[in-house]
Structure 1
């Protein structure tokens, strides 16, 4: 059985909810990623911040990214998956909620992220095509 841990990109890092968006952008650059899970004070997932969120939700709105926090941008119910979950469960979670990135949790700690690139490396062409149809066609 292939698990979430088998296909995830390890070493994902949180951005604390109190950190500003300019710091989040710097961390994204350092890590070469386009999204960061947002952690509350108890290191629990409270959202995901994307580079697009920073540009569209802050900069394009005329706000100062040094004054807006990651927590300010956290909206909705964050989705995640346990590291031992089957890849079918991963695909279902992403398809059901039309999400392109999924944090992987083990013992209540962030251990990785699953992105489109991870799926492309580990899925068959048919599985990937079905995932794309479900996530993008309904968007």
Structure 2
């Protein structure tokens, strides 16, 4: 099995926490992604915003997309793994948190992101199936 460095995508678009929901949606469309790591003004990784967050937690909740910032929307810290983490550790971290993406960080620096699509490209079918059962069963 592979490690996180092998699994991750490195062309990661980040967005500042002070950006608005509508701007995040535009960036997602421009880069054809469903999630963006969110950074604070000092450059620290403070969360991940997904397309689902934009729809469910902002628009469907009646928040104005042009006035609601990502800082108002994100909750908690992103699930992160080290670049040398074995794929079983990556799957365990994702399964435990029931998330579909994890960031790969080294000394606080964002190196990449691992999504379900990355797992599908690199993992054996049985490992991927076990992950899917774990994340989607709860």
Shorter-chain TM-score tier: over 0.9
Q: Return 5+ residue gaps in structure 1 as ranges.
A: none
- What is the 5 A alignment of 1:31-110? 31-110=31-110
Structure 2 runs not aligned, ≥5 long: none
TM-score, length basis structure 1: 0.93
Range with greater deviation from structure 2 (27-36 or 74-83)? 74-83
Check conservation: 2:34, 2:50, Cα contact below 8 A.
yes
Q: Distance in 1 between matches of 2:99 and 2:60?
A: 23
Q: Aligned-pair distance for 1:4? A: 0.5
For 1:81 and 1:99, the matched residues in 2 are separated by 13
Q: Secondary structure at the match of 2:88?
A: helix
Aligned residue pairs total: 138
Give distance in 2, aligned partners of 1:31 and 1:4.
22
In structure 2, the residue corresponding to 1:49 is in which secondary structure? strand
- Which secondary structure does the structure 2 equivalent of 1:68 belong to? coil
Is contact 2:103-2:113 (8 Å) kept? yes
CA root-mean-square deviation: 1.3
Q: Deviating runs (4+, > 6 A) in structure 1? A: none
Secondary structure of 1:129's partner?
helix
Shift of 1:106: 2.7
What's the offset of the Cα at 1:129? 0.8
Q: Calculate the TM-score normalised by the size of structure 2.
A: 0.93
1:24 matched to which residue of 2? 24
Distance 2:16 2:48 in 1: 11
1:13–1:110 Cα contact (<8 Å) kept? no
1-structure distance, mates of 2:62, 2:99: 27
Instruction: Name the structure 2 match of 1:112.
Output: 112
